[in-house]
Structure 1
Amino acid sequence: MSHSQPDTISAALARGRLGISSVVSFVIAAAAPLTVVAGGATTGYAVTGVTGIPLAYLVVAVVLALFAVGYVAMSRRIINAGAFYTYVSRGLGRPAGAGAAMVALLAYNAMQIGLYGGAGAVLAQFLDGYGVDAPWWVWALVAWAVVAVLGVLRIDLNGRVLAVVLIAECVVALVFDAVMVSHPADGGVSFDTLAPSHVFAAGIGAALVTAITGFVGFEGTVVFSEETRDPRRTIAWATYIALAVTGLLYGFSAWAMSVATGPDRIVEAARADGTDLIFTLVSPHLTDSVITVARVLFITSLFAALLSFHHTVARYLFALGRERVLPPAFGRTSRRTGAPKIGSLVQSGLAAAVLIAYALAEADPIVHLFFWVTVTGGLGVLILMTLTSVAVVGFFARIVHAEGLWRSTIAPNVAAVALGGILAITLGEFDTLLGVAPDSPLRWAFPASYGVAGLLGIVWALILRATRPHVYDAIGLGADRDTTALRTPDLVRHPA
């Protein structure tokens, strides 16, 4: 580090501060179980009109488990906060990696900023019941201010906050599920919304991307790899634990709601009650105090997801700044807290600008910000997971390894085909997902934004190759770029 840099700035993330439980807390908090159950699943039912949402969660969990096989195998060899960006760079080449980086920044910012719509609206509705009347954007900006402050503090402190919130919201979700299943609408428990036939029903693409949006965050285990005590062990365990917990909880909870309303009335009920549906269904059977605690946890669930995605975006910016793909200021961290300070502040600034724009436009915070923007974020992560599955195969094909055929080739290839199929179906049904007319320009505008972002990244990488080859050569190397790891076979065969 240059002596001219401020004393409070470092070029490395804080190492050794996170264990398995902390990483699991971050990634499941990003997935926000209670937010997905009370907000994502109900809004998915309402907007898409598809009753197969519970099955979609389970199908996606299986596909992502296949994806995780190769993803985790690669994480044992590459420890880098850049995650998807790094893996695509190492498996498909530096230009593809730079394109993936721009897609990742757009996708994770969409997830994080979109959640402010849900947080603001739900908090405004909750406080209105206590006589505190203020528009949604006021409360969204309050949440923004808290996230902005926590974003530059020690990450292990953030992890403890998220762990407490996470355990509480999972307990509440399971209690609510038990109440709903034990009080079925028609006097008998129905499994219709879990029927395999839904896989072939109209609108399944919309249901699948709604489900994938609920899982976004589980792949973020790798983003925190540089800050864990034992990256190779921690990341693998955290990834599988996060996927198993969220998959089972989402599928069970979405199904439980359909049991309580009746499978043929779940869409109508979701459209009538929105994010309040789950509370409406259990309130006759639980005390007011329990419902109030659950509503508070729904709000804190949204907040936990906001904080977790904020950390993810900041660390992507850090990884790109460290490698000079973005201005080097992004690659600096606070020496006192180890947080990527510049990236954190920039993400907060972008979020504030979008919130102000939505407030001035008087847009619907739930539909236009929470649902539209977060599902678009989910689409971006789906694109990245598809690319990464292919990159895993490319990476292991270039090196000598002992991972075995299943981890290095079969599982990632199957995952690539499955994710690619879901992606194709999703793009074809994006109008259904958004709840707009088939000829609406929005159905293509949102997906096209990723094509533009990816192309800009690829073009920038090619410009770097021509004008700053030393920067181009370091793309995807991250913390390894100044170490003897550069001389290992894995990196010697790194594609141009």
Structure 2
Amino acid sequence: MAVQDSPPVPPNVATTGGKLTGSLGVGSIVFMVVAAAAPLTVISGTVPLGIAAGNGAAFPATYVVCTAILLLFAVGFTSMARHVPGAGAFYTYVERGLGRPVGLGTAFLALLSYTAVQGAVFGYIGAAVNDFVVSHGGPSVPWWVWSVGALAVVGVLGYRHIELSGKVLGILLVCEVGIVIVVDVAVMVQGGDAGMSTAMLSPGEFLSGAPGIAMIFALAGYIGFEATAIFRDEARDPARTIPRATYLSLVLIGGFYTISSWSVVSAWGDEGAITAATDNPEGMVVDTAARYVGAFTGDLVQVLLITSLFAALLSFHNVLSRYIFSLGNTAVLPKQCGRSHPKHSSPHVASVVQVATAGLLIGVSALAGLDPVTEVFAWFAGVSTVGIVALMLMTSVAVLVFFRRSRVDDRLWNTVIAPAAGLVGLAVMLYMTAANLPLLVGGSSTLAAVITVVLVATFLVGVALAVVRPPATVVEVTTQEEKK
């Protein structure tokens, strides 16, 4: 049975190379998604902040709550993926459920959100590499020099076939996860500072301090998990691969964060963890590794932190390139953006465009004299966090509307109960994130207001473009699942 694809595919797609190909399995996609989450970066950077500014020793439980809400979201997300063959993820689903104007608004918001988080990581990796070089007797150079070097390598890998990126990310991910597991096991074997912490099991402890702020820091570690759907055209069997990769990514990310943050708390004791996270957040995990495994692990953690950041950059580059590719194939962006490389079957034009925008962001930040961590990383991460939560919220609404209108799936849990529960949870998350946005950007209410205006304006630009620019001609498309 042939159906009309949404978003529409221009008639010339077949002749312009507008199709990506590949045979990615569950493992390869999970590697790219988990690598984007940057596990070591989260454990080293976000966990201490969540402990210090959030709900203290109970912070690990926040990951359990986030994982539960996102798993509920994933139920409707993956169910709709079976019926919407486009590879645009958020915007494809929102367009099918809520219409083209809202869909394009979502697309532009997604581009801004992922560009922002990638910009944040470029700032962090520039500072991290420079600190490592200086600490080993090397010269100090501007952070952006290292960032541009990382961008060049990312650009080369992103230009080539996706399976090369998958292999690189797999190696880097194994290394960074491996060192954290070694530290986790060492803490558990030695019993921590005063036995393994039980604070995360206490509702009273979880609600103490600032659980809303803790939720924001925890949620930042999941950015990019929905990118499983972005690789639909390059998956071996999309109908099975995408749902499995999505659930597995969430479970692995959530489980890893929960256990590792629990180990960090236990290593110092409930009160000691709060003190250590407050006094030395950037060095807490390095000190933990040195204390329980050996001094040599300090350098190793520093090196793997850099590779963790690079893996995140490569993953976000792949996601952004495919968003741009999808928009090129729907005539929203120039059609050249929707071309795929004849040899690598990669979105090579979109990749080059993405490298250019990332380079521009690095250049503007450098010329403005922004600090790579306290300003570039913190501000851009704040923009991304709010944007991504808003995207998931709109996608949840689109899922409910789509299944109510289409009646293509009568499973109550998959199409109503789980998506509705996820919607409620995401609404609470969005409120918490927006309400605490000033904290995410250094306490500036003015900057928080500017960021909010930019996010809303970006969404409205997409809506306006949909109104003034009619869609391309819709053609009949038969999905892989229907051919079977």
Counterpart of 1:483? Answer: 477
How do 1:288-307 and structure 2 match up within 5 A? 288-307=295-314
Is the deviation greater in 118-127 or in 104-113? 118-127
| CA 436–334 in structure 1, closer or farther in 2 if over 3 Å, else same | same
Inter-partner Cα distance in structure 1 for 2:193 and 2:330: 60
> How far 1:419 moved relative to its partner?
0.4
Inter-partner Cα distance in structure 1 for 2:441 and 2:53: 7
Counterpart of 1:113? Answer: 119
Counterpart of 1:415? Answer: 422
Counterpart contact for 2:194–2:269, Cα < 8 Å: no
Amino acid at match of 2:351: S
Identify the match of residue 233 of structure 2 among 226, 237, 256: 226
Whether 2:330 is the aligned partner of 1:311: answer no
Amino acid at match of 2:147: A
The superposition leaves residues 432-473 of structure 1 with CA deviations (integer Å, 9 ceiling, x where unpaired) of: 333415xx2122222332211111111111112xxx3x42x6
How do 1:290-439 and structure 2 match up within 5 A? 290-436=297-443
Counterpart contact for 1:34–1:301, Cα < 8 Å: yes
The superposition leaves residues 90-124 of structure 1 with CA deviations (integer Å, 9 ceiling, x where unpaired) of: 11111110110011001111111111122111111
Counterpart contact for 1:60–1:208, Cα < 8 Å: yes
> How far 1:162 moved relative to its partner?
0.7
Counterpart contact for 1:52–1:204, Cα < 8 Å: no
Counterpart of 1:446? Answer: 451
SS at match of 2:270: coil
Inter-partner Cα distance in structure 2 for 1:69 and 1:401: 15
> How far 1:202 moved relative to its partner?
5.2
| CA 484–174 in structure 1, closer or farther in 2 if over 3 Å, else same | closer
Counterpart contact for 2:289–2:295, Cα < 8 Å: no
> How far 1:236 moved relative to its partner?
0.9
The superposition leaves residues 352-410 of structure 1 with CA deviations (integer Å, 9 ceiling, x where unpaired) of: 12212222333221221223312321221111111111111111112132350100111
Is the deviation greater in 265-274 or in 128-137? 265-274
Aligned CA-pair RMSD:
2.5
| CA 431–262 in structure 1, closer or farther in 2 if over 3 Å, else same | farther
Count of residue pairs the alignment pairs up: 470
Whether 2:34 is the aligned partner of 1:28: answer yes
SS at match of 2:430: helix
Counterpart contact for 1:194–1:255, Cα < 8 Å: no
Which ranges of structure 1 fall in alignment gaps of 5 or more residues? 475-480, 489-496
Counterpart of 2:462? Answer: 457
Counterpart of 1:256? Answer: 263
Whether 2:243 is the aligned partner of 1:236: answer yes
Amino acid at match of 1:443: A
Which ranges of structure 2 fall in alignment gaps of 5 or more residues? 1-8
> How far 1:181 moved relative to its partner?
4.2
Counterpart contact for 1:55–1:196, Cα < 8 Å: no
Counterpart of 2:105? Answer: 99
> How far 1:340 moved relative to its partner?
1.1
Identify the match of residue 140 of structure 1 among 147, 154, 168: 147
Is the deviation greater in 317-326 or in 271-280? 271-280
Counterpart contact for 2:22–2:162, Cα < 8 Å: no
Counterpart of 1:126? Answer: 132
The superposition leaves residues 115-166 of structure 1 with CA deviations (integer Å, 9 ceiling, x where unpaired) of: 1122111111112222112332221121111111111011101101111111
The superposition leaves residues 20-70 of structure 1 with CA deviations (integer Å, 9 ceiling, x where unpaired) of: 111111111111111111122234445668654322221100100100101
Inter-partner Cα distance in structure 2 for 1:435 and 1:177: 31
| CA 274–358 in structure 1, closer or farther in 2 if over 3 Å, else same | farther
SS at match of 2:280: helix
Identify the match of residue 190 of structure 1 among 176, 193, 197: 197
Inter-partner Cα distance in structure 1 for 2:138 and 2:51: 30
Amino acid at match of 1:106: L
Is the deviation greater in 312-321 or in 440-449? 440-449
Counterpart of 1:156? Answer: 163
> How far 1:314 moved relative to its partner?
0.6
Inter-partner Cα distance in structure 2 for 1:388 and 1:198: 33
| CA 441–181 in structure 1, closer or farther in 2 if over 3 Å, else same | farther
Counterpart contact for 1:54–1:194, Cα < 8 Å: no
Counterpart of 1:491? Answer: none
| CA 49–436 in structure 1, closer or farther in 2 if over 3 Å, else same | farther
Amino acid at match of 1:228: A
Amino acid at match of 1:71: F
